[in-house]
Amino acid sequence: MAGALEGIRVLDLSRVLAGPYCSMILGDLGADVIKIERPGIGDETRHWGPPFAAPGESAYFLCANRNKRSVTVNLKAPEGVEIIKALARKSDVLLENFSPGTTDELGIGYEAIRDVNPGIIYCSITGFGPDGPYRNRSGYDLVVSAIGGLMGITGEPEGPPVKVGVAITDVCTGISAQGAICAALYAREKTGKGQRIDLSLLETQVAALVNMASSYLISGEIPRRWGTAHETIVPYQGFEAQDKYVIITAGNDQLWARFCKVLGVPELIDDPRFRTNPLRVENRKECIGILAPIMKTKTRDEWIELLNVEGIPCAPINTM
127, 144 Cβ separation under 8 angstroms? yes
Specify the 3-state DSSP secondary structure of 91.
Answer: coil
Q: 170, 243, 253, 271: which is the annotated catalytic residue?
A: 170
Our answer to whether residue 253 is catalytic in this structure is no
- Distance (Å) of CA 134 to CA 46, 139, 173, 224: 28, 9, 18, 26
Give burial (CB, 10 Å; 0-12/13-18/19+) of 191.
exposed
Q: Half-sphere exposure of 124 toward its Cβ, with a 13 Å CA cutoff?
A: 22
179, 26 Cβ separation under 8 angstroms? no
Could you tell me which residues come within 8 angstroms of residue 227 by beta carbon, excluding any fewer than 6 positions away? Answer: 155, 156, 157, 237, 238
CA dist., res. 304 & res. 264, Å (int): 15
Question: Which amino acid would we find at residue 60?
Answer: Y
Under DSSP, the state recorded for 271 is -
- Distance (Å) of CA 1 to CA 6, 30, 33, 39, 258: 10, 10, 18, 36, 45
Q: Would you please indicate which residues are annotated as catalytic (active-site) residues?
A: 170
